Structure 1
Amino acid sequence: MNRSKYKPGICYLLFFMIMVSCVQDDDFSVPNQLNIEEQQTIIDIQDGLKNGTYTEISIEALKQQFVAGEVVQFASNSVVKGYVSSSDKTGNFYKELYLQDQPSNPTAAINIVLNQVDSYNQFNLGREVYILLQDLFLGETASEILAIGGAADGNRIDLMSENQIKTHLFRSLITEDLTPLELNFSDINENYIGMYVLISNVEFPEYLIGQSYFNAIDDFDTQRKMQRCEGFSYEEFSLETSSFATFKNEILPSENGTIKGIISKSYGGDDFVLVLNDTKDVALTNTRCSPLNADDFVVVFEETFNDAIDEQILDTEGWINFAERGQVLWTEQIYSKNGYAEFGTFGANDTSNVGWLVSPGINLDENLNAFLNFNLAQHHLTSVRNTIDVLISTDFNGTDVLNATWLEIEAKVPTKYDEWYTFKDSGLIDLSNFSETVYIAFKVTGSGTNEALDGAYQLDDFRILKEK
């Protein structure tokens, strides 16, 4: 029988050294030290950033290098740094992690696709990570999420191999506590993908009470609708849970509160979704909310556009329809017996179009504590530069739009990420800081010759309200 040539004492020493140097494989605790090779690599990277061997690039600047429909390979000695915002500890993320540029108040985030499971043991939540970009790739995943990967698969990004992870992805000793970015559902857009966020005043619809996070009839992922009260209706957004999540059979909470998670996209990239790191981030313990009741308010002024004549230039009494640039004006439209106002530039020959729709003057002196409320929808928006601004003026003379003083109003307006033709409630906009006669304007910027800017905005149910 062969016997080991190592004495027991030496074996124990070797075992201890192996355990210390392989902390990334420890399933039971977050690593708080690096092995010698890792530590030296981080020192070399930091020294290289100081002496010019490496060039640091921000996540935001890195994302700007993306070319739509292409996978780009990095050639320079660039380094990007970020903080891990996602965790695969519960199995809700698979062979991916997200990095955001700051532990709090992040401005950009990026997806990393890698051939590694249980990456949380090495790249734990809040861990500072350096990526050597040379020879890696930038492109979109199958979910149309911008990511760093190890290869190109046609016009999509592919996983970093185990060897690439060892030579390109490095954690430092620093682990920060992440402060979630507070958002409303209506705020969410492409820029927030990968960020750790917090949504307040959230609940699951009553029809989901008693249901679990994952629906057993689904093969891979389940999307559960969430809602939050906003004005006279609900805002909605989807929570996505993987079939591999350890918490998939937990019952959805029935109350209202806060949810923290990562903004991502559904498979195929059709919808934005919120993905949990852990159900510890779900704190729904408050009383359910109720949308405002219109019966609790008096209507001071209202325009429903129900007298619209389909596809004619809008000439609703008292409203100013003005083209600042180009020839396009707001039009009256009817769909399914509902009238509304619309500004769209499709088919126009103008390089630039700016169209205003200004309300009649509304006297607020007799209506203290008044609120503005309206519904807006969009269709065919593809660019954030195809915009609508909601403005208010107290010195407009009723004719000279451009020489009046206009202040922007914060309102919930549709973006290119919202479903086409679906009206969004603006919420109640407080007008108590204004007095005398005010005018409300809707100003759209687009283009008839640029297909990226020829989308349309629709306005309906414009109201000034005051509480009874």
Structure 2
Amino acid sequence: MKIRLFYIVFFALSLFACKREYDSPPLNQLPENGIISIAQLRSMAFPHKFVGDTSIFGVITMDEQTGNIYKNVYIQDTSGAGMNLRLLSSGGVIQGDSVRVSLKGTILTQFDGMLQLDSVDVDDNIVTQSTGNIVEPKTVTIAEINSSIQAQLIRLEGVEFSGMDVGGTWADGDNQASLNRMLVNCFGDEVIVRTSGYANFANEVIPSGNGSIIGVVGQYNTDMQLYIRTPLEAQMADPRCTASYLLYKDFDDGSTTSGGWGSFWTGTNANGTNWGEWEIFGGNVASASNFEFASFTNYACESWLVSPSVNLTGTTLPILTFDNVTRYSGPGLELYVSTDYDGSSDPALQGTWTNITSSVPNWDVDSGDWTFVPSGTIDLSPYISPNTYIAFKYIGSNVDGATWEIDNIIIQE
């Protein structure tokens, strides 16, 4: 009987001993000299590699789940100070996790102006204490955004995207290219909103109104930036206080097709080049030329550059403007508009396109230089629709072909 009772007691103690214990004891049981605040961490000299048993505590305020950041998360503690954690591998922590971060083996460093804790191993350095925690963003103004609030979760109110960006997408998801969008207030202050082309919302159109936005403060050299966690935190449906553009394309991002633009070409490929196809020249203008200087040869071609759909409903007098310049002899550039194009097919084969070339007040003529000429205003009110497209058509033959460049394409009320 005593032997049986011994086994019962031993089994009960074994079950109790196998009960899962949380990683760390209560805060007051940790050595005081082993815990530092994020503010203390940010005040340390860098670069610095940690070798001792030092830890920080905080809540993850931004994770990788939307794809807007990769192998990075942001943490913030009760003091409000934040830090960018650069992970050795992706995943393992999510927004709302309250975590202890052991600093042993990590490196405090700065990259292009952004202070960060590098070489963080999620398995070895991070222990989750609890989940589902909410950090309230700090409300600041654009003018108050500086390096002192790097990595902090903030809210801006009374802001809107620049008129030049309205109608554009957060980033270029098709080409997985990151884009900067300018956020402004009614006093002329501005800050960059940087979005990765890998974000799952990259191709969503940015809000066109005024309102509030939540994001984490970043920095690239001297430029302060904001990284959003989700478009749902951009509540911007109030009336604007600055002018808005229904369409703006300046090619400064080095792409002819970002922002939903389309390029369609037929012609001759010689020496690896589609002659006459729209391309970026000089880094920031769109150019089309069918002339190969090396062989002194012109190639017959037809090349279209087509805008994304522009919603002109609600406008009364929408106008189009752009800058253009041409050199050498050949057919003139043509301008078209359509209200039934499907947005993806070859415009030479689909859609009803109206030639409005003659409606352009100022087409450049070859004057021997590359000085851009403003087009003047082109009235688009006859083409008001929910889906209005404009297109530039370049034509070259086997005997001639001008070079045309365009820039700063704008549709506005």
* TM-score, normalised relative to structure 1: 0.45
Could you say what the CA RMSD is over the residues aligned between the two structures, in angstroms?
Answer: 2.4
Q: Deviations over 1:7-43 (max 9, x none)?
A: xxxxxxxxxxxxxxxxxxxxxxxxxxxx987x53233
In structure 2, give the amino acid aligned to 1:130.
Answer: R
SS at match of 1:191: helix
Out of 18, 29, 36, the position equivalent to 1:57 is 36
Task: Within 5 Å, give how 1:28-107 maps onto structure 2.
Answer: 39-43=21-25, 46=26, 50=29, 52=31, 55-67=34-46, 71-102=47-78, 106-107=79-80
Q: Is the 8 A contact 1:98 1:112 kept in 2?
A: yes
Q: Is the 8 A contact 2:180 2:194 kept in 1?
A: yes
Query: 1:286: which partner in 2?
Result: 238
SS at match of 1:227: strand
Is 2:182 the counterpart of 1:206?
A: no
Are the structure 2 counterparts of residues 134 and 255 from structure 1 closer, same or farther at C-alpha, using a change threshold of 3 Å? same
* Runs of 5+ unmatched residues, structure 1: 1-34, 151-159, 292-468
Are the structure 2 counterparts of residues 195 and 51 from structure 1 closer, same or farther at C-alpha, using a change threshold of 3 Å? closer
In structure 1, give the amino acid aligned to 2:104.
Answer: Q
In structure 2, give the amino acid aligned to 1:181.
Answer: K
Task: Give, in angstroms, the shift of residue 126 of structure 1.
Answer: 2.4
Distance in 2 (CA, whole Å) between partners of 1:278 and 1:253 is 13
Task: Within 5 Å, give how 1:48-447 maps onto structure 2.
Answer: 50=29, 52=31, 55-67=34-46, 71-102=47-78, 106-117=79-90, 119=91, 122-141=92-111, 143-150=112-119, 160=120, 164-215=121-172, 220-230=177-187, 234-266=188-220, 269-290=221-242
Q: Is the 8 A contact 2:87 2:118 kept in 1?
A: yes
Distance in 2 (CA, whole Å) between partners of 1:217 and 1:91 is 14
Distance in 2 (CA, whole Å) between partners of 1:75 and 1:259 is 39
Q: Is the 8 A contact 2:163 2:242 kept in 1?
A: no
Q: Is the 8 A contact 1:54 1:77 kept in 2?
A: no
Q: Is the 8 A contact 1:110 1:147 kept in 2?
A: yes
Q: Is the 8 A contact 1:53 1:77 kept in 2?
A: no
In structure 1, give the amino acid aligned to 2:201.
Answer: F
Q: Is the 8 A contact 1:90 1:246 kept in 2?
A: yes
Task: Give, in angstroms, the shift of residue 285 of structure 1.
Answer: 0.9
Task: Give, in angstroms, the shift of residue 139 of structure 1.
Answer: 1.0
Are the structure 2 counterparts of residues 75 and 219 from structure 1 closer, same or farther at C-alpha, using a change threshold of 3 Å? same
In structure 2, give the amino acid aligned to 1:210.
Answer: G
Are the structure 2 counterparts of residues 52 and 278 from structure 1 closer, same or farther at C-alpha, using a change threshold of 3 Å? same
Query: 1:4: which partner in 2?
Result: none
Task: Give, in angstroms, the shift of residue 134 of structure 1.
Answer: 2.2
Distance in 2 (CA, whole Å) between partners of 1:258 and 1:51 is 40
SS at match of 1:214: coil
Q: Is the 8 A contact 2:176 2:198 kept in 1?
A: no
Q: Is the 8 A contact 1:241 1:275 kept in 2?
A: yes
Task: Give, in angstroms, the shift of residue 216 of structure 1.
Answer: 6.6
Are the structure 2 counterparts of residues 206 and 171 from structure 1 closer, same or farther at C-alpha, using a change threshold of 3 Å? same
SS at match of 1:212: coil
In structure 2, give the amino acid aligned to 1:263.
Answer: V
The number of residue pairs the alignment matches comes to 226
Are the structure 2 counterparts of residues 212 and 73 from structure 1 closer, same or farther at C-alpha, using a change threshold of 3 Å? same
Task: Give, in angstroms, the shift of residue 220 of structure 1.
Answer: 3.6
Query: 2:11: which partner in 1?
Result: none
Are the structure 2 counterparts of residues 54 and 174 from structure 1 closer, same or farther at C-alpha, using a change threshold of 3 Å? farther
Task: Give, in angstroms, the shift of residue 201 of structure 1.
Answer: 0.6
Are the structure 2 counterparts of residues 123 and 36 from structure 1 closer, same or farther at C-alpha, using a change threshold of 3 Å? farther
Query: 2:360: which partner in 1?
Result: none
* Runs of 5+ unmatched residues, structure 2: 1-17, 244-413
Distance in 1 (CA, whole Å) between partners of 2:29 and 2:61 is 27
SS at match of 1:82: strand
Distance in 2 (CA, whole Å) between partners of 1:212 and 1:203 is 14
Task: Give, in angstroms, the shift of residue 219 of structure 1.
Answer: 6.2
Q: Is the 8 A contact 2:171 2:177 kept in 1?
A: no
In structure 2, give the amino acid aligned to 1:149.
Answer: D
Are the structure 2 counterparts of residues 283 and 74 from structure 1 closer, same or farther at C-alpha, using a change threshold of 3 Å? same
When Rg is computed on C-alpha atoms for both structures, the one with the higher figure is 2
Task: Give, in angstroms, the shift of residue 127 of structure 1.
Answer: 1.6
Task: Give, in angstroms, the shift of residue 173 of structure 1.
Answer: 1.7
Task: Give, in angstroms, the shift of residue 194 of structure 1.
Answer: 1.0
Query: 2:316: which partner in 1?
Result: none
SS at match of 1:94: coil
Q: Is the 8 A contact 2:173 2:199 kept in 1?
A: no
